Structure 1
C-alpha cells in the first residue's frame, strides 16, 4: 500500500495556459504579431513517493488529490496548489510529495518555457497478489558406478544445481549408499547440471532435463582420478587402478584396487606400488629384481610414467620397494598392452602413476620396519599454497649383518636404496593450478660368489639412480575443457661392473632427459570428446663400456649362471642423442551402449651418435644423424551389452627406438632403427553381484625388427647387433574379484600364455627368456574391527633355460666350457609361495593413529629355485634358491 500519482490532464492544463502564452507576441516580416507554438510538453523525471496517511491506511480508505503544479523553465516545481481536495491528511501528503517533483521543462518554439499542469496523486491500497500455484515437482534418482567395470561407488556426492529456464535457483545434494544409489526429490521441472564427486575426488559433470511430475532415473559411469586433498585414512577410497587404456576413457583392461586395500595385501609390506606384481599380465620377476615383464615383453620394453613424466624404474633395483612413497601415490595404471595414442616409445606395457593431491592442514607419518624407515609430511602454507615431502632409507643390509650369517649376500644381493620426493601445489584460480615435483632415487647392490680359486671368484656390483624435476599446469574451463602441460628435466645413471676372476666387464650410462607433455580435452557435442596432445622426449647419453663382447648378457644369449666370459676384450666410449616428438589425437564417441575410441599417433625420431665406425688409428671418429618417422593407429571399443555384462576390444601399433648402449660401433650397431609391434585384445566383463566381478581378456602381440646379437662368430664391423629378431606372445587371463564386502576383499587371477622368439626367416620358435606359461595369484584380506589379516598365494612356471649336455676342457685358459643342448628347452623348477599379514590400528586421540604389522613371507620356508648353477666342470647341477622365511615387522605413527 503506497501513494502514487500521474499527470492526469496535462493537455487540458497546457491549453488552459494558452491565453497567457498568446499574450507574448512577436512580429513577422510584415510587422504583424505571431502566436507562439508549444513544441514540447513537460515530462516527469523525478517522482517522490509519500507516506500513506496512517489513519486512512488502517481504515482501508483510498483517495485521489488533484493538484495544480507550476513548473519553471528549468524543470523545477515553483508552486503547488490543491485543485480537488481529498481531505487534510491526503492533501498534505500530496503537496509534500509534489513539491519535490522534477520535470523536463516544456518548450515553446523549441525553447524551454514555464508551464502549469494539473496532476492527480492517487493513494491506493494495493491488494496482495495471490501466490502462484506450486510447481509440479519431480524427482531425480539413479546410481553411480565405475565406468570400467560397473562396480557401484558408495559415498559419492551427487550435486544438482539449476531450475526452470536454466536459471540456477535450486541446489541439492545426495550421497550414494553402499549399492551406489541416490535420490533427490521435490525438484521443479527445468535444466540442471549434475556434478558427481566420487570419494577419491573425481568430479564428472552431466546435463539433465527434469520433466514436470515425472521421475527421472539415471546411471552415471565415472572414472576415478587423483583423490581430494586430505590425509588418507582406513576408509579412504583412492583408486590404485590397473587399466587397459588411459583413465579418461572406457577401459579395455581395467582392474581397480583401493589404496588402503593395496597397503594391506600380504607380501607388499604396505607398499602400494607393489600390488601391481599380483595382477594378471605380470610375470613373476626373479628375486632381487625390479623388472616388470608384461605379456611376454622384455623388461626394457615397458614404460613407466609419473604424472606423465618418464621414469627409468618403478621399483628399486632389489624389487623390495617402489621408488615413490606410497603416501604420495594417488593411482596406478598398469596397461599390459593396446594402450592409447598419448603414449609411445615402448613395445610392451605401460605403468602410469599419478601423485596425490596434497591435503590441507598439517599431516604426516613416520614409519619403520625390517627393510627401511620412511616419513611423510605436508602442510598448508597459505590457502593457495601447499607443500609436502617424503623420504625413505634402507637398512636391511645392517639388519641382516646383525642377525644372519656373514655370507648371506653371497647369492642374494643385499640392497641399499633411498629415495625422496618433494611436491608443492599452487592454486592459481578456481580449477587452475600448478604442481611442482622433484623426485630422486638411488640403488646399490653388491654380490660376490666366492670360490677357493681366486680366478673363479665372481663379483657383481650395480649402481643406479635418477632424478626428475617437473611442473604440471592444469586448467579446467567452465565448459569442462581440460588443459594439462608438463615440462620436465632429469638425469639417469646406471653402472654395472662384473668381474669373473681377472676378466672385468663394465658398462656405465649417464643420460640427460628433457621433454614436455601437453594435452587438451574438449567436448564436442553430448556424445563426443576429442583429445589432442604433444609428447616430446629427448635423451642425451654418454656411454662407456669395456670388457667382454658377450657381457652383460642379453635376451636370446645362450649362457648359464657362473659361465666365464670369452677371452675377447674391447673398449668403447660414445655419445648419443635421441629425440622423439609425438603429436597425437583420439576421440571418445558414445553411440548408445557402445563407446568407440579411435586415435592416431605420429612419431618423428631424430637419432644422433658420435661414432659410426670403430676407431681406426688416429682417424677422427665420424658421427651419424638420421630421422625416422612412424604412424601408429590405435583404437578401442566397449559394448555394454547389459548393465552387468560388457564386451571390449582394442588394437594398436607401437614403435621403440634403440637403447643408447646398443649404438656402440664396437659392442653394437650405430644404425639400428625402430623396433615394431602390434597389439590386439578382446575381453568380457561380468558383474555377478554388486561386489563380485569376473573378467576375461585374450591378447596377442606380434613383434618384429627386434634387436638381437649377431649370429656370426666374427660379425662385420659395427654390426655386432642386428634387427633380425621376431617375437610373439598370446594368451588368456582371468580375474575373479570380490570388492570390499563386510570387511572382506580379495581376488584370484590366472594367466595362461606363451611367449616366443626367433630370428627372422627361421621356421621354428623358441621360448622367450622370461616366458612363464602359467601364473596364478590369490589375494585375501579381512578386516575385523581394528584388526586386519590377509594372505597371498602365488604360483608361476619357471623361466626357460638352455640345458648343458656336456663340457670341453680349454687347456689354454685352464677351464671347462659348457656344451649346450637345444635353446631354452628346459626350465627352472616352478615357484610357489604363501605369505601372511596381520596388522592392528590404535587410535591415540587428537587425530593421532598408530599401526603395527607383521608381514610374513614364505611362511612354509619353501626353497624356491631362482637359477640353475653348475660345478666348474659343468658335470654337476644345482639350484640357487630364493629367500627363506622372512618376517617383516614394522609400524607407523600417523597424524
Structure 2
C-alpha cells in the first residue's frame, strides 16, 4: 500500500442539544419571556451548502490529521473569519483555514431572522489507499469525491449567535437587515434609503430627505441610532443617508403605536442599529457618480476593536464637467460629507462599551435668475450635526440586561431665502445632551419587566429675520414661487427644553397571548429668553414653565396558530414645541405640548418558513397642533396658535419573501387618508403630505457572482390649492393669486421603475471588487413634482422630476 493525496472531509453536524446562545450578546424580545427574558431564540442552525476541499500538504503525504476551526458566519451565509481552535500541525492548519474561508452556509436564524453566528468545525485529512497497478500504463484515476459530512460526537460543535442587545420588537414593526437593504434597486447601495420603500412611508419629493409616516409631518417622526436621537436620516438632498452602510446592522420602521421606551414624537419611529465590529482587519474603498467613501476596521489587542468611515460628495464637480455652469439654477446640486468612528471595548465576559462619534454636513444652493432684479429668487441652506455617545451593555448570568447610553451633540441649520429685495433668514444652533438607560429582568416564568429613564436637553439660539410667512409651514395657502408679503420683522432668542421621561413596561405571556402594558411619564422644563417682543429699551423678560404628560401604552399579540397571529396596540404621545416656534415675534412663547392617540389592529400570516403576509389597520388622532394664526394682524406674541387638529387612518398590506435561494423581495401597499382642520371648523382638508395610495414592489436575485434587482413605485400626488384667478397690484407691479378651496387638487400621480445590476470579482481569499450600475427611472417617465403658474396666474403647468439617471460605481472590499 502506498500513500496518495489526502481527501478532506468535514464533520459539521450542528447539535441542537449543545447549541448555546451567548448571554453576552443577548437580545431583548418582547414575546420571548419564558426562562430567559433577554435572550434570543435560535430557530435555525447554519447549514453548510458549499464545501471546498483542502489541499493536502505536499510534505505530509501519508499523514492524517484533524484541525479544529472556529468559523464566524455572517447573516448572509458568507464566512467572515476563520481561526484555529486546536492545532496539530501548522501545515494542516493553513490548508484547513484556506479551504474553510471559501465555504458557503445557509445562515443561522434567530427569531426566524438571518443572524451572524460562530461555529466550531472539525476538518479531517485522511489517507486513501492507492488503486492496484494496471497491466498496462494508464493514468491514475482521479481522487474519489469528498465524502459527505459525518455526524460529530456529541458536544463537539457549538453555535454562538452574536450581536449587541437590540430594542424590543414592536407590535407593528418592519425590520430590514443591512445585507438585504444594500441590494435594493434605487438605493445606490445605501442601506438606510430602503426606509423609503417600507410600508407606511409616503414618497418624498425629489431632492428631499423628508420621512412622512402614516400621515404625520416629517418633524413628528423620531430617528434613533443605537437609541440616540439624531435630527435626520438623510442628507438634505435625499441622495444619501448620514451613516456609512457598512456600519449599519439593521433598520427598524415603526409607523405608529410604539412602546413606552420612546416619546417626544406624534408620528413614527426609525431605529438604526450599528454593526458589531468583526475581528481582524476589514474595510472597503468605494466610488460612484455621487460620491466617494471608505471604511476600515481593525483589532486593537484582544479586547478592543475600532472602525473609521468617511464620505465626500462630488456630484457638483461631475456635473460642472459635463453640464452648463447654471445646471443648479432649478435643481439644487448637493454638497455633503459625513464621518463616523466606532470603538468597542470588551470589559469582561457579557460586558462591553461602545464609543461612537457621528457627524454630517450639507450645503445646498439654488438660484432662479431673472433680468428683473425684483424677480430673482435664491435659496441657500446649510445643515450639520454631530453626536458622541458611550453605550454600556451588561448581561448577567441569569439574563438580566442593563444598557446605559449618555450622549452629547450639536445641531446647526442656516436658511437664507431671497425673493427679489425681500430676504428671509433663519439660523438655529442647538446643543443636545442626555442619556438613555434601561434594565430588563425576569419576574417568574411568564413575566419580564423593563424599566428605564430617557432624558434629553436641547439648548438653542435662534436668529430670524424677514417675512413672517417664510419659511412656509403646513397649512399655509400658497403656490410654488409665490413672493412673500412686504412685512419685515427680526428677532433673536434662546430656549432651553429639558425632558425627563421615566418609563416601564412588562411582557406578560399567558399561553398563546403576549400582553405588553406600559406607561411613560414626561416632565418638560421649557425656558425662553423673551416672553414679549422688545419695544425700545424695554429689557427682555424671560419665561420658565413645567409641562407634564402621562402616556399609557399597551399592545397584545395572540398566536392563534403557529402560522397565524392577531395583534393590536394603543398609545398616547406628546411633542414639545420647536425652538423656532417660541419666538415672541414669529411665534408664541406660551405654546404647550401637542398630543396624539394611536390605535392599530393587525394580522400576521406565515405562509411558509420564508414567506409572510401582514395586514395592519390604523387610526391616529392629533390635537393641539401648532398652526399659523388666521388673523391678518395677530395678537402680540401670538403669531402661532394651537388650534390645529389632525386625523389619519388607513390600511397597509405587506407580502414579504425573506432570503430564499438567493431571492428576496416584498410588495407593500397602503391606502391612507390624512386630514387637518383648525379647531371649530366643520370640514376637514387634506394634509399637505397626504398620499392616499402608495405601492412599492422590490425584488432582488443573486445568481452566482451576479446580482439583479428591480423596484417599482407608485404614489398619489400631494394635494395643492388651485388658483381660480388673479388680481393686479399696481403698487408692486405684480399679480396676486385668488385661491380656490384649500388642497382640493393634486399633483399628477407618480410612478417609476428602477433596476440594479452588480458583479463581484474575488481577489484572493478575503478580498473582492464589486461593480454595480443602479439605473433610476428606466422608462424616462416625466413625473410631475410641482404645479407652477405663469406670472399672471392664467396658465398652469408642472415641474417634472429627474429623467433616466444611472449611478455607476465600484468598491474594493478586504
Rg: which structure is higher? 1
3-state SS of 1:874 partner: coil
- The aligned residue for residue 315 of structure 1 is 234
Residues 228 and 317 (structure 1 numbering): CA distance in 2 closer, same or farther, change over 3 Å?
farther
CA contact (8 A) 1:445 1:463 kept: yes
**In 2, Cα distance between equivalents of 1:367 and 1:838:** 16
Give deviations 1:66-114, integer Å, cap 9, x for gaps. xxxxxxxxxxxxxxxxxxxxxxxxxxxxxxxxxxxxxxxxxxxxxxxxx
Residues 720 and 499 (structure 1 numbering): CA distance in 2 closer, same or farther, change over 3 Å?
same
Residues 280 and 753 (structure 1 numbering): CA distance in 2 closer, same or farther, change over 3 Å?
same
Residue 690 of structure 1 and its aligned partner are, at CA, apart by: 1.9
**In 2, Cα distance between equivalents of 1:352 and 1:250:** 11
Residue 688 of structure 1 and its aligned partner are, at CA, apart by: 1.4
Q: Quick one: which of 264, 272, 292 aligns to 1:373? A: 292
**In 1, Cα distance between equivalents of 2:585 and 2:490:** 8
Residue 407 of structure 1 and its aligned partner are, at CA, apart by: 3.2
Correspondence 1:510-521 to 2 at 5 A: 510-521=429-440
Correspondence 1:311-710 to 2 at 5 A: 311-710=230-629
**In 2, Cα distance between equivalents of 1:261 and 1:374:** 20
3-state SS of 1:275 partner: helix
Give deviations 1:177-203, integer Å, cap 9, x for gaps. 599xxxxxxxxxxxxxxxxx99659xx
- The aligned residue for residue 792 of structure 2 is 873
CA contact (8 A) 1:239 1:331 kept: no
Question: Does residue 789 in structure 1 map to residue 708 in structure 2?
Answer: yes
- The aligned residue for residue 52 of structure 1 is none
- How many residues get paired? 696
Question: Does residue 267 in structure 1 map to residue 156 in structure 2?
Answer: no
CA contact (8 A) 1:614 1:665 kept: yes
**In 1, Cα distance between equivalents of 2:603 and 2:254:** 16
**In 1, Cα distance between equivalents of 2:673 and 2:566:** 24
Residue 731 of structure 1 and its aligned partner are, at CA, apart by: 0.3
* TM-score between both structures, scaled by the size of structure 2: 0.82
**In 1, Cα distance between equivalents of 2:560 and 2:274:** 35
CA contact (8 A) 2:467 2:486 kept: yes
Pick which of 388-397 and 403-412 moved more.
Answer: 403-412
3-state SS of 1:414 partner: coil
Residue 629 of structure 1 and its aligned partner are, at CA, apart by: 0.4
Question: Does residue 830 in structure 1 map to residue 719 in structure 2?
Answer: no
Gaps of 5+ in 1: 1-137, 151-156, 161-172, 180-196, 202-218, 231-236
Give deviations 1:284-339, integer Å, cap 9, x for gaps. 00011000000000000001111111100010001111100000011111110001
Residue 782 of structure 1 and its aligned partner are, at CA, apart by: 1.2
Residue 533 of structure 1 and its aligned partner are, at CA, apart by: 0.3
- The aligned residue for residue 849 of structure 1 is 768
- The aligned residue for residue 891 of structure 1 is 810
Higher relative contact order (CA 8 A, sep 6+): 2
CA contact (8 A) 2:209 2:236 kept: yes
Residues 579 and 779 (structure 1 numbering): CA distance in 2 closer, same or farther, change over 3 Å?
same
Residues 541 and 248 (structure 1 numbering): CA distance in 2 closer, same or farther, change over 3 Å?
closer
CA contact (8 A) 2:523 2:547 kept: yes
Question: Does residue 175 in structure 1 map to residue 45 in structure 2?
Answer: yes
Correspondence 1:678-827 to 2 at 5 A: 678-827=597-746
CA contact (8 A) 1:149 1:687 kept: no
**In 1, Cα distance between equivalents of 2:172 and 2:792:** 49
Residue 674 of structure 1 and its aligned partner are, at CA, apart by: 0.1
Give deviations 1:851-888, integer Å, cap 9, x for gaps. 00000001111111111111111111111111111000
Give deviations 1:339-393, integer Å, cap 9, x for gaps. 1101100000011111111111111000000000000001101111111110000
**In 1, Cα distance between equivalents of 2:169 and 2:438:** 18
3-state SS of 1:348 partner: coil
**In 2, Cα distance between equivalents of 1:704 and 1:159:** 41
Give deviations 1:575-621, integer Å, cap 9, x for gaps. 00000000000001111111111000000000000000001110101
**In 1, Cα distance between equivalents of 2:315 and 2:775:** 16
Correspondence 1:46-85 to 2 at 5 A: none
**In 2, Cα distance between equivalents of 1:539 and 1:481:** 32
Residue 636 of structure 1 and its aligned partner are, at CA, apart by: 0.6
**In 1, Cα distance between equivalents of 2:48 and 2:684:** 51
Residue 139 of structure 1 and its aligned partner are, at CA, apart by: 9.1
**In 2, Cα distance between equivalents of 1:325 and 1:489:** 20
Residue 227 of structure 1 and its aligned partner are, at CA, apart by: 5.5
**In 2, Cα distance between equivalents of 1:270 and 1:220:** 24
- The aligned residue for residue 103 of structure 1 is none
**In 2, Cα distance between equivalents of 1:860 and 1:826:** 26
**In 2, Cα distance between equivalents of 1:449 and 1:299:** 26
**In 2, Cα distance between equivalents of 1:771 and 1:149:** 34
Residue 410 of structure 1 and its aligned partner are, at CA, apart by: 2.1
- The aligned residue for residue 222 of structure 1 is 111
**In 1, Cα distance between equivalents of 2:112 and 2:453:** 23
CA contact (8 A) 1:238 1:259 kept: no
Correspondence 1:232-271 to 2 at 5 A: 248-271=167-190
Correspondence 1:84-103 to 2 at 5 A: none
CA RMSD, 1 decimal: 2.9
CA contact (8 A) 1:240 1:332 kept: no
CA contact (8 A) 2:75 2:179 kept: no
CA contact (8 A) 1:200 1:239 kept: no
CA contact (8 A) 1:521 1:532 kept: yes
Residue 405 of structure 1 and its aligned partner are, at CA, apart by: 3.5
**In 1, Cα distance between equivalents of 2:162 and 2:196:** 16
Give deviations 1:459-513, integer Å, cap 9, x for gaps. 0111000011111111111111110111111000001110001110000000011
3-state SS of 1:662 partner: helix
Give deviations 1:729-768, integer Å, cap 9, x for gaps. 0000001111222222111110000000000111100000
Q: Runs in 1 of length 4+ with deviation above 2 angstroms?
A: 138-150, 157-160, 173-179, 197-201, 219-230, 237-241, 246-251, 254-258, 404-408
